Amino acid sequence: MSLKSSVRLAFALAVIMGGMTQAHDTPTPKATTSADDPYLWLEDIHGARAMQWVDTQNAATEKQFADSTQFQHTRDQILQVLDSDARIPYVERRGDYLYNFWQDKAHPRGLWRRTTLEEYRKSEPKWEVLLDIDALNKAEGKHWVFKGSDCLKPDYNRCLLSLSPGGGDAVEVREFDIPSKSFVKDGFALPIAKSQVGWIDNDHIYVGTDFGPGSMTTSSYPRIAKLWKRGTPLSAATTVYEGKMSDLAVVASHDRTPGFERDFVSVAHDFFHSDMYQLKDGKLIHLDVPEDAANVDAHRQWLVVQLRNAWTVGGTTYPSGALIAIKYDDFMAGKRHFTTLFAPDAHTALSNYAWTRHHLILDIMDDVKSRLDVLTPKDDGTWARQDMPGAPTFSTVSVVDTDPDNSDEYWLSVTGFLTPSSLERGVLGEGQAQTIKQSPAFFDASKFEVSQHFATSKDGTQVPYFEIAPKHLKLDGTHRTLLYGYGGFEVSLQPFYSGSIGRAWLARGGVYVIANIRGGGEYGPRWHQAALQANRPRAYEDFAAVASDLIKRGVTSPSHLGAEGGSNGGLLMGNMLTVYPQLFGAIACEVPLLDMKRYIHLSAGASWIAEYGNPDDPKQWAFIKTFSPYQNVKAGTTYPPVLFYTTTSDDRVGPVQARKMAAKMQGMGYKNVWFYENTEGGHGAGADNKQSAHMHALAFEFLWDQLK
């Protein structure tokens, strides 16, 4: 069980992509006066005046970009991809069954279902439907969005289901019984909150939730972890650990691996610093690993640590980005002689890793392209290494599931910009993986080619980017080109297949580009740390360098170059708008951070101080203000057309920053500033495929129209 990664992913990410309580449940401190910010009234997320403004903006944007047969065609083309029955139904193994969540035209909110491996191998498997979310909504008069399940090993018959009222990260938790396909009467249940739950045994769970005033951190995550016994009120749950208000979150968990049962508490102080404890015989034993380790993973007899910074211990210095291992019991007894499982170089970084019953699979990026290695621990404490059998090259290959308790089974996702995704299954030691499912081609890839280029940033750093363009592209600067980026939270942008992009952009003659700028994880921690806090502008310089390189090479020109990014990538777009407006012909800015003066007081913003800095500290505000678009936008400047789009139910970044930025620019007299807000969808594009298709089509049509 990966301890720190579970905290980082649960509270990040996604970042952020990669939130938490409903945004309107999070108190929003007021500025000193309305004169400090004349658009504060838009921070009243569900207020009548604010929603009337949203409705007016939506109507204008829809009329301009969605009231055409071309928009309808683009939307329908995207929706066909999202609803296609030929898509791969990705699965997660739980015991003898493979579980899947599926949305399509007939089931817009989705089916939670399962099947056997034998059935899954068939072209049309028979699925056992466990819960129909659309039927549940009809019965209850709700708009639930399925947010996942946690099922009790080893039989997986009891599950804790998470249901969001509008697609945000705040969820209602209910206990579900698989054999009867029903919710458990008087079972474990929690009202809507930013909860964290996990099984201990049939009658006990760990829970972190809103227990009342003072029980959530400033970042709006659970501050207290408790043990809750079946049949008792939540108020009777006993406290396991109580963190500080300034912490990011506290999570307790139980590892049910037979023979290696352990309990842990993770205390995340911020996005990149945590303390780990083993809970044993009622006592907390601190794991003496670096507070800034990226992952700490206790698996059977092993402790594996993924380092974010160099660590000197036991007379050895292990480098930043390394993955190291030691016997768990030896470590707890005070030994510190680790084995290095992976060490990065100038071109490589560890993307991820996954355990099977007897092996460890490493997912390695080499100049942002994938390869897989298999490591096997030996009795003498050393590890054997071999290449993954049959792993294809020049694609993104990732392990999407394993069965570490019982077998060496693994499932691989294989994808590339022009290669429809496939799902492969294999068993280590039994030959190469076999393709089980293959996604159809949603556009004619034979017309295009992929190339990788490197742009030189302002400080001389070489920044890679992928270009997907028509073959034999004439470098005359006339091509509509869409440049996408993220650049934050150590998130890597690797090759992927998108039928939506293929149909809505490439098939119309456009060029699509992915920029692997600093702030991401493409070259490990160093790439991320190079754009932290005061160094954040390096990410923006990198993106501008890629834009300039595309123009210099003749792929496009400023009037034909568009940019798009969401969340942290929305902040990137805000800086392209305000700092580098001369490079772009249009910008699409999705669920963005923009007001960096107030971001820590909006929705879950306080959780990102480690990434950006604390604007309430005057010394830190001195550098934060240099990349705060809301403060830096000025009247009388030539800005490219911009579309801000967001969702009312986004409880991670929240809709108010996009609202205020659009209103401020319009108030300055800028005419080509557009805004659209979907009511549902959380920090994503929509609560169902139809909503997602509408949002994506709106962005594509805006960009295509403005870049003509």
pLDDT digits (tens, 9 = 90+) for 609-653: 999 999 999 999 999 999 999 999 999 999 999 999 999 998 889
State yes or no: pLDDT of 17 exceeds 80. no
In angstroms, the CA 457 to CA 405 distance is 46
- Encode burial over 300-326: b for 16+ CB neighbours within 10 A, e otherwise: bebbbbbbbbebeeeeeebbbbbbbbb
Rounded distance, CA 245 to CA 243, Å?
Answer: 7
Bridge partner list, 664: none
What is the reported pLDDT for 450?
95
The sign one gets for the Cα dihedral 592, 595, 597, 600 is negative
Reported as a pLDDT band with limits 50, 70 and 90, residue 36 is: confident
Domain ranges in the chain are 57-79+442-706
Q: How high is the pLDDT of residue 31?
A: 45
Is 422 among the catalytic positions? Answer: no
How sure is the predictor about 12, in pLDDT bands with cuts at 50, 70 and 90? very low
Instruction: Point out the catalytic residue in the list 683, 692, 694, 696.
Output: 683
Give me the pLDDT at residue 390, please: 62
**Average pLDDT of span 419-429:** 95
Please tell me which residue, 4 or 324, carries the higher pLDDT value.
324
pTM score: 0.93
Could you tell me the pLDDT band of residue 682, with boundaries at 50, 70 and 90? Answer: confident
Q: What is the DSSP string of 145-209?
A: EEEEEEE-TTT--EEEEEEESSSSS-EEEEEEETTTTEEPTT-SEEEEES-EEEEEETTEEEEES
Which residue in 422, 567, 607, 649 is the catalytic one?
567
Architecture label for domain 57-79+442-706? 3-Layer(aba) Sandwich (3.40)
Average pLDDT, the chain: 93
Question: Where is average pLDDT lowest: 3-12, 118-127, 425-434, 439-448?
Answer: 3-12
pLDDT on residue 679: 87
- What pLDDT was estimated at residue 15? 32
pLDDT of 403 strictly over 60: yes
User: Taking Cα atoms as reference points, which of 560, 443, 563 lies closest to residue 74?
Assistant: 443
Looking at the predicted structure, is the pLDDT value of residue 101 above 60? yes
pLDDT tens digits, 345-388: 999 999 999 999 999 999 999 999 999 999 999 988 789 999 88
Q: What is the pLDDT of residue 392?
A: 57
| pLDDT tops 50 at residue 120 | yes
Burial class (CB in 10 A: 0-12, 13-18, 19+), 291: middle
| 560 is known as an active-site residue | no
